[in-house]
Amino acid sequence: MHIVILGNGISGITCARYIRKQSDYQITVISGESDHFFSRTALMYIYMGHMKYEHTKPYEDFFWAKNRIDLERAWIEQVDTERRVLHAKDGRSFNYDQLVIATGSVSNKFDWPGQDLPGVQGLYSIQDLEELERSSALGINRAVIAGGGLIGIELAEMLMSRNIPVTILVREKSYWDNALPPGESAMVTRHILSHGIDLRLETTMKEIIAGPDGRACAVLTDSGERIEAQLVGLTAGVSPNIAFLKDSGIECQRGVLIDRFFRTNVEEVYAIGDCAEFREALPGRRPVEQVWYSGRDHGQTLADTLCGNASEYRPGPWFNSAKFLDLEWQTYGDMPAQIGEDLSSLYWEHPSELKAVHLLYRKGDKRFVGINSLGIRYRHLIFDRFLREERTIEYVLENLAAANFDPEFSKAYERDILELYNQQTGSRLQPRNKRGLRGVLQLLKSV
Amino acid sequence: MSRSTNRIWPLLVKRIGMLIFLSALGYAIFLSVGGTYRLNDADLQSLFGERSDLIRESEADFVDQPIRGKWAFLSELRRVSKVVAVDARIRYGLSEQDVEGMASRNDGQPFDLKGEIARFEQEGHQEKAKKISQWLGWYDGKSLSEEELKTQLALKATDINRGISGLELSPYAALAITRQASQGPARTHPGRTFLIIFGLALLGGMMVILPEFRHEPGIKNNHIQFNGLNSRGLAGILLGTLLIVFYIALYWFPAWVAEWTLMADPLSYWINGGPSSQWFLYGWLYTFAVVTMAVRFAIKYRHSPYHLVRTASVTFFQVGFAFLLSNILHRLQLPSRDLKNIWPLEYDFFYAEKMNAMLYPPALPWFGKAMFVLGIALIVLGVPLLTYFYGKRWYCSWVCGCGGLAETAGDPFRHLSDKSLKAWRIERYLVHGVLLFAIFMTITVIGSYLSNSETFLGIKTPMIKQWYGFAIGAVFAGVVGTGFYPLMGNRVWCRFGCPLAAYLGLVQRFKSRFRITTNGGQCISCGNCSTYCEQGIDVRWYAQRGQNIVRASCVGCGVCSSVCPRGVLNLENGPDIDRTAIQALRIKKDGVQVLP
């Protein structure tokens, strides 16, 4: 059995590793982007000088040969599902018995005039990073970033680290308010502004203008303003990287269409990670899951199936995290930007520091449904339990201290949060646990 | 826009600060190499006693002659010493006539040692008399023929004469001579020179450090990988070379830094009542580096209370214990030690001279004994107990002097530690090897002490002490340990060499409540934790599989937790059950796996 995995990102590599753990199949991972697996989320730190490229490789180079995972460097241009052959740009071809498509994403472009000019780019791949370095070497007096969200703020932070002034154009009223509720979004917005970033809300890009050298030199906004910029970042989301599958017979919509076993319409062809689209979205989830963690889950689950232990994708409670400049964000469970009628919310914010905790629960049975936290770390382990065991908000609040994951000597605010709830609802809850491992074990044993 | 990191002035201030700092450093180096040296008659008398006559006679030019530059002075001194040695042998050695005289006087009768000594003393040859009493004791009362005596005594005389040098030029003597000969401002105005150099260094240092306040609190490792000083570029290599040369000077050629000790004299008199040795100077420089760089560290990590408390702790132990207290004890003529130091890091704790100083001190006997008991208690109780409760960090990154320097001055180099599996393998052999060496050496030392003999189990104690002191104490801990900061990271000694770290690490690995917990499935494998681990632990390897980190070498600095962008890592003490459990290996199926 020869399994070929297209793409050496977190999805493809996790799949390869777990196939190896369970089988002796021949495994080949093909990537055009890099020789070895690296952490895509760490690209920003290379540009900022926190790390070098080699630091972003989670496994030493000897790891692959030792685990008999063959690595090939090639861009695949054509997939022949009839003969089970892949054709690469450099003329080579690769046979497979089973194919796993894990090709990730490409940056979104929305048909802006000038979007293909030099000096206009997204931030997704190593090649994007190299492009950014080339542009930086030419000198950037100002950069305009079109689109907010997580990649937009990362790109802004990167450029700021090189003392490049940044303007971010965001369609929304408040930063990332299509994903964050108003309180959190407002805090993130304040934080971005405090770093000296020129954040323009409710502003979109109309056009990118070329200079005499043929490179981008300015951006026109919908208000008609012209902003001089030598670099334009396109960070309005990403879409599945599936252009090379055009004539393969593999059915695609936004992404490669798959069922819950990651099967495409073609026998022995599977798709995982950013590039896959569930024919039927999982409850509470999007059909295309573009998160590091879901990619890792996909890879693990598909590896089971490929090794003869057919496994349906049944992920646990949602979780995610990110960092907006210096502000850490973690979320567990469902935290919609717009809170429905049937939900109640407890929003606590520190009077002066950048810390906020937002807990959501159902009105009737007070069942806890999700949390956003900014500037405070919480334990995945504990919140996963709260959600699986369908605990009430009151249980969560009473045991919240045990879920705290902030470093020692940090000030704890769980009591303040609980008091806020008591005040708002007239309850008289008392904390049942203390912070730290002792509290965690106490809580786990009490179940 | 309340804050802008893009303004020019902070960068300008930093640049100017660096220039000021470098000029202070440059001036200090100039003082130590470019001065003028002169020894007048009185200097010669006080330094060399009766040997000074030899210089006056054969090297009259040397007296009162100004010599420019330290190299020139030290090589002239060596030359003079060689010349004088020839004369000294003639004057103080046993000549052919001396040998023949003794042989004929004692021909066939019991050798009259006392008589011979008295004879030479009478003739005014005190030194010859001394040599005879020291070397010829064996012949006392033995009857040998003149011929026999003549041959044997001639051989003895050759040996004796070989031991007669011109001027004693041991490292300490060379330092004393150079201090005496130095003519520059360090000698004439030591206090003023000291204030100028360290004032400028402090001013420049603060101008570089304090503008870091302009950044919002949070991790800012920007440009570290681009900066030559921090990433083994030219500046880093130069700094490493400078540090290595400094350590070589400190251990083997203290005369090179004679002017710096002169400058430190006023401070030394003030604190411990005597002139500054190179070790006092070293203590001062070390403390100065720890304190100023602690300010930098505290600003950089000011968002983390853990780092603020920990930095305050290492700074306190360096200033209070290592520097002030040990010098004050010296002043009070009590046994002087850095009380927080622990065997086997303090490898000479059981050396006879040190134990005797504690057990039989001239004053306040209870104090010396308490000091000894404290030292023992730390070894047998403090290390295991505190490490059980808090991990080895209680010592390595909260108390220890080596750790104190690494955590403050060494912080800009923490990412240079090697994270490869190979390095880990080498580390385990090396650090435990040094621990075994230290234990072995100490056993022979104690054995010798108790049996009152130079050898123990057939091993020459002075030799093994000397080897340990040279290879581990000086080369590994000093030259490599600190000199290699800009080349191999700030914990080279702590990771590969420190026997105490090995001991603490064994406890931490096998019986402790400390671990670094990982936060379920939140790791994105970015690599910041591994990159900034000063001990070269591949933290990410554990974090990305949701496994807690229990490693012998972890000093609990907490930086992995700080640099993690997703809040994945936390230093925790807790019940010692299943510390190494993989908590989140399979997230998808059964949820986050938890402790059983």
The ipTM value here is: 0.96
Q: Are B531 and A49 in contact (CB under 8 A)?
A: no
Looking at the predicted structure, is the pLDDT value of residue B554 above 80?
Answer: yes
Q: Which residues of B touch A441 (CB under 8 A)?
A: 574-575, 577, 595
**Partner residues linked to A221 by β-bridges:** A205
Flag whether residue A160 sits within 8 Å of chain B, measured between CB atoms: yes
Angstroms from B479 CA to nearest CA on chain A = 28
Q: What is the pLDDT of residue B109?
A: 87
Residue type at position B154? A
Q: Which of residues 321-340 of A touch B (CB under 8 A)?
A: 321-323, 325-326, 328, 330
Q: Determine the residue among A189, A405, A438, A440 to mutate to test chain B binding: the one whose Cβ has the most chain B Cβ atoms within 10 Å.
A: A405
The DSSP call for residue B479 is I
* Least confident range of A408-417, B172-181, B449-458, B572-581: B572-581
* 3-state percent helix, strand, coil for chain B, nearest multiple of 5: 65, 5, 30
Residue with tokens 């006997």: B365
* Percent of chain B residues topping a pLDDT of 70: 96
Mean pLDDT of B427-443: 98
Cα separation of B212 and B300, whole Å? 7
Interchain proximity A385–B528, CB inside 8 Å:
no
Inter-CA distances, A118 with A154, A401, B7, B402, B526, Å? 21, 51, 29, 52, 29
Q: What is the pLDDT of residue A69?
A: 98
Q: Determine the residue among A51, A56, A352, A410 to mutate to test chain B binding: the one whose Cβ has the most chain B Cβ atoms within 10 Å.
A: A51
Q: What is the pLDDT of residue B583?
A: 57
Q: Which residues of B touch A379 (CB under 8 A)?
A: 519-520
Residue type at position A304? D
Looking at the predicted structure, is the pLDDT value of residue B584 above 50?
Answer: no
Q: Which residues of A touch B221 (CB under 8 A)?
A: 45, 48-50
Q: Which residues of A touch B312 (CB under 8 A)?
A: none
Interchain proximity A56–B5, CB inside 8 Å:
no
**Partner residues linked to B322 by β-bridges:** none
Q: What is the pLDDT of residue B232?
A: 95
Flag whether residue A55 sits within 8 Å of chain B, measured between CB atoms: yes
Interchain proximity A377–B570, CB inside 8 Å:
yes
Mean pLDDT of B421-438: 98
Length of chain A (residues)? 447
Cα separation of B277 and B261, whole Å? 6
Determine the residue of chain B that is closest to A41 in CA distance: B526
Q: What is the pLDDT of residue A447?
A: 64
Interchain proximity A380–B527, CB inside 8 Å:
no
The residue among B165 and B449 whose pLDDT is bigger is B449
Q: Are A142 and A164 in contact (CB under 8 A)?
A: yes
Q: Which residues of A touch B217 (CB under 8 A)?
A: 326
Q: What angle do CA B167, B170, B176 make, to 5 degrees?
A: 80
- Strands of A325-424, DSSP E: 327-333, 343-349, 356-362, 368-374
Q: What is the pLDDT of residue B581?
A: 66
State pLDDT tens for residues B285-302: 999 999 999 999 999 999
A50, A316, A378: residue with CB nearest B587: A316
Q: Which residues of B touch A160 (CB under 8 A)?
A: 5-6
Angstroms from A416 CA to nearest CA on chain B = 19
Structure tokens at B88: 């000294």
Q: Are B528 and A45 in contact (CB under 8 A)?
A: yes
- Strands of A276-397, DSSP E: 276-278, 319-324, 327-333, 343-349, 356-362, 368-374
Q: What is the pLDDT of residue A43?
A: 97
Q: What is the pLDDT of residue A441?
A: 84
Angstroms from A264 CA to nearest CA on chain B = 21
Structure tokens at B476: 């590994």
Q: Which residues of B touch A437 (CB under 8 A)?
A: 517, 572-575
To the nearest whole number, what is the mean pLDDT of chain B? 92
Question: Torsions phi, psi of A237, nearest 5?
Answer: 85, 175
Looking at the predicted structure, is the pLDDT value of residue B593 above 60?
Answer: no
Flag whether residue A138 sits within 8 Å of chain B, measured between CB atoms: no
Flag whether residue A14 sits within 8 Å of chain B, measured between CB atoms: no
Cα separation of B361 and B337, whole Å? 13
Flag whether residue A134 sits within 8 Å of chain B, measured between CB atoms: no
Q: What is the pLDDT of residue B586?
A: 42
**Residue-wise over A97-108: b if at least 16 C-beta within 10 A, else e?**
ebbbbbbbbbbe
Q: What is the pLDDT of residue A59?
A: 97
Q: What is the pLDDT of residue A446?
A: 77
* Residues of chain A falling short of pLDDT 70: 447
Interchain proximity A50–B221, CB inside 8 Å:
yes
Flag whether residue A311 sits within 8 Å of chain B, measured between CB atoms: yes
Flag whether residue A315 sits within 8 Å of chain B, measured between CB atoms: yes
Please, which pLDDT band fits residue B460 given cuts at 50, 70 and 90? Answer: very high
